[in-house]
Structure 1
Amino acid sequence: MRYISTRGQAPVRDFAGVLLAGLAEDGGLYVPQAWPTLQPDDWRALRGLPYPDLAARILAPFTAGSIDADTLHRLCREAYAGFNHPAIVPLVQLGDDLFVQELFHGPTLAFKDMAMQLLGRLFDHVLERDDARITIVGATSGDTGSAAIEACRGRDRLHVVILHPEGRTSEVQRRQMTTVLAPNIDNLAVDGSFDDCQDLVKAMFADAPFRSEMQLSAVNSINWARIAAQIPYYVAAALALGAPDREVCFAVPTGNFGNVLAAWAARRMGLPVRHLAIGSNRNDILARFLGANDMSMRAVMPSLSPSMDIQVSSNFERLLFELQGRDAEACARIMTGFRASGRMAVPEPAWRAANGLFRGLSLDDDATSTAIRRLHAEAGYLADPHSIIGIEAGRRFAVAGIPTIAMGTAHPAKFPDAVRLATGRIPALPAHLADLYEREERYRRVPNRLDAVEAAVRAALFKNAA
């Protein structure tokens, strides 16, 4: 499998090259040069497989030529061995044809563990094979950082520096990052929003001398390996509910567009998906785009669902590339214009094509709280403020007779204040995190400036080398 950039000016790479590169040198995102497709009998043959084996089978076409099948199976088995549910990604029925797939049974209680636990092992394997070292820089709105840190802590060939927006994550999210005191882990609290953190990461990759000096790589979903590792759980849910002999719909709470893009990729591979419902909070750029072709940036507003407090959904570029018929020049022009003007000029045919598959819903904080409270009263199910938005999107766009699977993206204990506000209940942290509030924290505050952040990354790496 070979990979190309959405902007057409970066080297073609294999999976290992894309894993280590993260962002393409031309500022674009890597996508498969050709999409693998499965036939109905291929899908049927995957039914009943344990999740790690299913994941290895789905990922095999994407890693072909870089990682042999036996190694991939071993890494997948190791990645999911520590999850605290035997099904790894269990389905819970909430109503007629409405299900939630719980993706939060990993070590940091969020769906990001599904990819990160595998990515840490993929990095280790490739770096050991190549006798190399890298510096991972990542931006987080809350969950990516803790999942990346947990997956990469103590790994000799990786140094991880995570940027988070100061004061804009939940306390549990922050502490899950800042209480990991491993020597290869550093956290930077940026005076700004998640979009600012994401822009700083992209700017570091665009700074060619700094990128080379630090041997930068990425764990955000700009890294294709993150998307690939999320495809299997969509397959698992669909197969459990009758695919390929029955269509399904997916509903996904969405900020950076990576999770729902993995669902789109599963459909592109031949999984029978009727539509994809996107749930947004008050930062509703994706819902506005689907409703009125209004992809315009506004100020990021804090909400009860901080992991979705995003206005620049990086992974939308991959979808735009596909909607434009893989025209890299047009994709680059549109994305460059978006960054310059704050408004994305998506051509009418591409917008209509998106509306043929995607649906969009946004909920403000009051509606989010009401939905959490109602679901708990009706079904006895406690949802976090991100998952509930996906569940509500699933309800809104349900199709009679077709199962809708909403993604349960985080454990409610990660957002105790929001859950208590809605239900009066304070969800308990699992035993392995029970002392989280007593643990020592370590992080550094930095201004929202590229030179300051680059200096902090350099200092972190030199400290580790010393």
Structure 2
Amino acid sequence: MKYISTRGGIAPLSFRDAVMMGLATDGGLLLPESIPAISRETLAAWQKLSYQELAFAIISIYADDIPPADLKALIDRSYATFTHPDITPVVAKNGVEILELFHGPTLAFKDVALQLLGNLFEYLLKESGKKLNIIGATSGDTGSAAIHGVRGKENINIFILHPLGKTSPIQAMQMTTVTDPNVHNIAARGTFDDCQNIVKTLFNDLAFKEEYSLGAVNSINWARVLAQVVYYFYAWFRVADQGKKKVVFSVPTGNFGDIFAGYVAKLMGLPIDKLLLATNENNILSRFINDGDYSLGHVVPTVSPSMDIQLASNFERYLYYLYDQDPARVRNAFAELARDGRISFSKNEMDRVRAEFLSLSVNQQETLDIIARFHKETGYLLDPHTAVGVKAALDLTGPDQQAICLATAHPAKFGEAVTRATGQDPPFPPSLVGIDKLPSRCETMDADLEQIKQFVKEKVKAR
């Protein structure tokens, strides 16, 4: 399997090289040259597999340059850190199936990918004898999951930027209380989009990227998306045999990464009827699907901060397929975005989009209301991001469809919103007990490219 860029400016890469490159050197995102179609017979065989076995079956198709025994060991080690034997269990509540993705070390769906990516990085660096300096931006969960994926690992430093005061307190503490020497937290005065733009600019500075051996953990790294494809298959297998209804997935998303993994699963042949894209007030993706309006706006702070994003970085991967895998059209679209602050689409393109996706924008009050209502009716606590997805499922799912809602984080990570909605504090899982008493380390600075660049240089040279 070879990997190419959405912008067409690189020679095909192996999986190993794609993982280490992260962002393509032409500024695009990496994708496999082709998405393999899975037969009905293979789907039937996969239905009987454990999560780890299924992960190996799917990932080995795309990571064919890693010896099978090594890949299996990496997968088993990655998911040994999860507290539920099913890794991503599915629970039925009020006619909605909840796919719980929060049983990893940092209680968020990002652990599913980042535990694996951390082990992949360590494995590849050990073989090559090289060092890696990971640079990432986070709106909340990616940062802590990435840090916990690589903390203490040999030959790796990690630098994570988060917007100062714009994550939940628990999210911030999960990052800043990890004080391993190879971990560097930066609280930037600005928005997540400011942080993400700095990271992308650093990666596009090819001389700097090469000199300081930069690596990516954000969902611009293909391995992140690949690991997330697995749980769409796993959940579908647990729900599809319960009746004759068509399966839809409701996905709360701001960066288009998690829902793009579902789109890949569908391209592979998983019988997903629709992908329901759920956003909060930062609804550039909902405006795109519902109105054909992909135009930049201002970030609005909400109780679901991981979706407080305007520029969805993984959207470029979807555009590549919408544009019939034409890199020139992708390049032109992003030139238009840079020039005009928007991308325009034809009626035919929007018809194709709506054949695959439905979308709903859920405001803050609606989010709190659904947390309260769902808890009253079922006793089940939703975090505010999952609540956005549940609201979309309840509003958009037809009578002949069965919705699977992705539960992207444990409610305790957003206790203030949950308490505000229900009047009850969510129970604290053991991993969070006493976190506010731990020592912490974090640098606060402006969202300034040169300042952050200098910080990276100094820390890399110091080690």
TM-score range, shorter chain: over 0.9
For 1:243 and 1:16, the matched residues in 2 are separated by 36
2:57 aligned residue = 57
Distance apart, 1:438 and its partner CA: 0.7
Q: How many residues align?
A: 462
Secondary structure, counterpart of 1:45 in structure 2:
helix
1:198 aligned to 196, 199, 205, which one? Answer: 196
Deviation >6 Å, runs of 4+: 243-246
Distance apart, 1:379 and its partner CA: 1.2
Q: Which moved more, 1:363-372 or 1:454-463?
A: 454-463
For 2:329 and 2:184, the matched residues in 1 are separated by 38
For 2:339 and 2:143, the matched residues in 1 are separated by 28
8 Å contact kept, 1:186–1:443:
yes
8 Å contact kept, 1:387–1:408:
yes
Q: 1:365 to 1:308 in 2, by over 3 A?
A: same
Distance apart, 1:347 and its partner CA: 3.2
1:181 aligned residue = 179
For 1:10 and 1:348, the matched residues in 2 are separated by 31
Structure 2 counterpart of 1:11, one-letter code:
A
Structure 1 counterpart of 2:73, one-letter code:
R
Taking the TM superposition and a 5 Å limit, the aligned residue runs for 1:336-415 are 336-415=335-414
For 1:50 and 1:391, the matched residues in 2 are separated by 26
What are the superposed Cα offsets for residues 313-371 of structure 1, whole Å, 9 maximum, x if unpaired?
01111011101000100111101221232111233322221111101111111111011
The yes-or-no answer on 1:28 pairing with 2:28 is yes
Distance apart, 1:414 and its partner CA: 0.1
1:289 aligned residue = 288
For 2:459 and 2:302, the matched residues in 1 are separated by 31
What are the superposed Cα offsets for residues 130-161 of structure 1, whole Å, 9 maximum, x if unpaired?
11111100000000000000010001111100
The yes-or-no answer on 1:41 pairing with 2:41 is yes
Distance apart, 1:402 and its partner CA: 2.7
Distance apart, 1:309 and its partner CA: 0.3
8 Å contact kept, 1:334–1:346:
no
For 1:329 and 1:320, the matched residues in 2 are separated by 11
**Structure 2: where are the runs of 5+ without partners?**
none
**Structure 1: where are the runs of 5+ without partners?**
none
What are the superposed Cα offsets for residues 414-436 of structure 1, whole Å, 9 maximum, x if unpaired?
00000000001111321122010
Structure 2 counterpart of 1:280, one-letter code:
T
Distance apart, 1:246 and its partner CA: 6.6
Return the TM-score normalized by structure 2.
Answer: 0.98
For 2:431 and 2:405, the matched residues in 1 are separated by 27
2:164 aligned residue = 166
RMSD: 1.2
Identity of aligned residues (%): 41
1:421 aligned residue = 420
For 2:461 and 2:289, the matched residues in 1 are separated by 46
Q: Which moved more, 1:408-417 or 1:443-452?
A: 443-452
8 Å contact kept, 2:245–2:400:
no
8 Å contact kept, 2:246–2:400:
no
Structure 2 counterpart of 1:13, one-letter code:
L
2:110 aligned to 109, 112, 118, which one? Answer: 112
Distance apart, 1:398 and its partner CA: 1.1
Q: Which moved more, 1:254-263 or 1:424-433?
A: 424-433
For 1:188 and 1:342, the matched residues in 2 are separated by 28
For 2:424 and 2:461, the matched residues in 1 are separated by 45
For 2:345 and 2:93, the matched residues in 1 are separated by 36
